[in-house]
Structure 1
Amino acid sequence: MTDFLAAEERALLERNGLGTFDQLWATQLQAVDEPNTGRGGSSSVFRLDVEGQGFYLKRQTNYLTRTLHRPFGEPSFAREFRNIRRYQQLGIPALQAVFFGMRKVAGESRAILLTRALDGWDDLDALLSRWDQLGAAERQAVLVACGQLARQLHGVRQVHGCFYPKHIFLRPDGEGYQAQLIDLEKTRPLLFGQRDRVKDLEPLLRRASVWNNEEVRSLLAAYLDQPRDAALVDAWLARLSARRDHKGSR
């Protein structure tokens, strides 16, 4: 695979000596958190600011994912990059790739994924931490945005696989909110209908424990495009509650 460099940022990165794999690999930056050292390798995330524009630079060494199609493994960023591009093609709001490349260097498998920073957006976890400080209209707007995002995702037959509050980013938009997704590595096609949809949604509701029953109804109403008191909303609420109880008892 040849390196990918988004046309919109090419001039900016090249002007600052950041337009190639080697240049991005050699750039000295402070990691935003501790490296992930699973899978026999390492994966690190860095903040990169260039002429007032923010990016996240992710670098991996021998951090491989093995699948039936790739039994010898590939950098997990390769799968995430493919999914970013798929989301873009399908019109699912998600983070945007700026650069992607892979190299074999001295027996090491290296990969880089550069994405635009979501400056001005809050992850849902941050909003949940101050949920009791939000007004009723703002809470409703957040719930509707999350429900519509899930509907859009499942409507084009994709399962996120990690539909957690920390992976849903929102920002105010008029009287409502815009929402988009990050961390697309585990995305896969929706194969098993309602079972896949319930499995994808339930972790969000389990982690958003501050939501009461009526708030969950609001999210499901937006997801199903139904009134909050619809029988279909009742049915989905029962299925999700049953799965949450089952998961909690394990």
Structure 2
Amino acid sequence: MTDYVASDDRALLKRHGLDDFEALWALQLDAVDEPNTGRGGWSSVFRLELEGKGYYLKRQSDYLTRTLHRPFGEPTFAREFRNIVRYQKLHIPALQAVFYGERKQAGQHRAVLMTRALDDWSDLDSQLAQWAQVGAAARDGMLIACGQLARTLHAAGQVHGCFYPKHIFLRQRREGWDAQLIDLEKTRPLLFGMRDRLRDLEPLLRRAPVWGEHDVRTLLAAYLAQPAGSTLVDTWLQRLMQRRHHKEAR
């Protein structure tokens, strides 16, 4: 496939000699964490800054996933990149790709995925760690943003598959809060209506035990575009709590 380079970043990458696969593969950087190993290969994440802009550069070798459509395997980044492009076309707020390319070199299947860093955003996980100290208006603003994000996602016919606090990023603005998603690798089409939607939302609630009923109702009201005390919100709250209790009891 032809390498992808975002038009907004092409000139900047070119000024630094980083507008092709080989240059990005050879770039010497410190990894932000320990590489993932398995699947017969490795995958690692690096951070770099260019002219005051932050980026994450991900590289992997023989770190493949196999599906019915690709029985011989493809880099896991390939699926993530396709989903980034899909989200953009569907107007689902999510991280943005700067570069994607893959090569078969030296007997290895290599891939590079570069995305813009979300330096002006904070993940919901961090907000939950200080939830009791956050003002009521800010809490409601974040919950509404998360509910609207999930509504946009599902209305576009997509299931994220890992709708967790660490994958939801938030940013305050004058009128409220914005939210967007990262880690799109497990995204798939929404095929089974309410069941799929509940399966996507429930892990978020399970990983946010600091949320009380008011919080969950606020999120569901935004998700369903209904008043927090409506019968529809009651129904969804009951179904989500049942699923959560079932998961926690396993």
TM range (shorter): over 0.9
Q: Residue 56 of structure 1: CA displacement? A: 0.2
Q: Structure 1: give runs of 5+ residues left out of the alignment.
A: none
Amino acid at match of 2:223: Y
Q: Is residue 62 of structure 2 the alignment partner of residue 57 of structure 1? A: no
Q: Residue 38 of structure 1: CA displacement? A: 2.2
Q: How many residues align?
A: 250
Q: What CA RMSD, in Å, does the superposition of the two structures yield over aligned residues?
A: 0.6
* Residue matched to 2:133: 133
* Residue matched to 1:246: 246
* Residue matched to 1:236: 236
Q: Residue 39 of structure 1: CA displacement? A: 1.4
Equivalent residue runs for 1:190-209 within 5 Å: 190-209=190-209
Deviates more, 1:58-67 or 1:32-41: 32-41
* Residue matched to 1:221: 221
Q: Over residues 35-72 of structure 1, what are the superposed CA-to-partner deviations in whole Å (9 max), with x where a residue is unaligned?
A: 01021211000001011111000000100011111011
Residues in 1 aligned to 2:55 and 2:11: alpha-carbon distance in whole angstroms: 15
* Residue matched to 1:90: 90
Q: Find the residue that maps to 2:43 and give its secondary structure.
A: strand
- Please, what TM-score do these two structures have when normalized by structure 1? 0.99
Q: Find the residue that maps to 2:8 and give its secondary structure.
A: helix
- Indicate conservation of the 8 Å contact 1:141/1:175, yes or no: no
Q: Find the residue that maps to 1:85 and give its secondary structure.
A: helix
Residues in 2 aligned to 1:193 and 1:238: alpha-carbon distance in whole angstroms: 17
Residues in 2 aligned to 1:26 and 1:198: alpha-carbon distance in whole angstroms: 43
Residues in 1 aligned to 2:239 and 2:41: alpha-carbon distance in whole angstroms: 39
Residues in 2 aligned to 1:175 and 1:157: alpha-carbon distance in whole angstroms: 28
Residues in 2 aligned to 1:82 and 1:108: alpha-carbon distance in whole angstroms: 21
- Indicate conservation of the 8 Å contact 1:160/1:187, yes or no: yes
Amino acid at match of 2:216: V
Q: Over residues 90-139 of structure 1, what are the superposed CA-to-partner deviations in whole Å (9 max), with x where a residue is unaligned?
A: 00000000000000011101000000000110000010011111100000
Residues in 2 aligned to 1:236 and 1:8: alpha-carbon distance in whole angstroms: 41
Q: Residue 175 of structure 1: CA displacement? A: 3.6
Query: Could you list the runs of 4 or more consecutive aligned residues of structure 1 that deviate by over 2 angstroms after TM superposition?
Result: none
Residues in 1 aligned to 2:152 and 2:207: alpha-carbon distance in whole angstroms: 21
Amino acid at match of 1:13: L
Q: Residue 173 of structure 1: CA displacement? A: 1.1
- Please, what TM-score do these two structures have when normalized by structure 2? 0.99
* Residue matched to 2:183: 183
Equivalent residue runs for 1:1-250 within 5 Å: 1-250=1-250
Q: Find the residue that maps to 1:29 and give its secondary structure.
A: coil
Q: Structure 2: give runs of 5+ residues left out of the alignment.
A: none
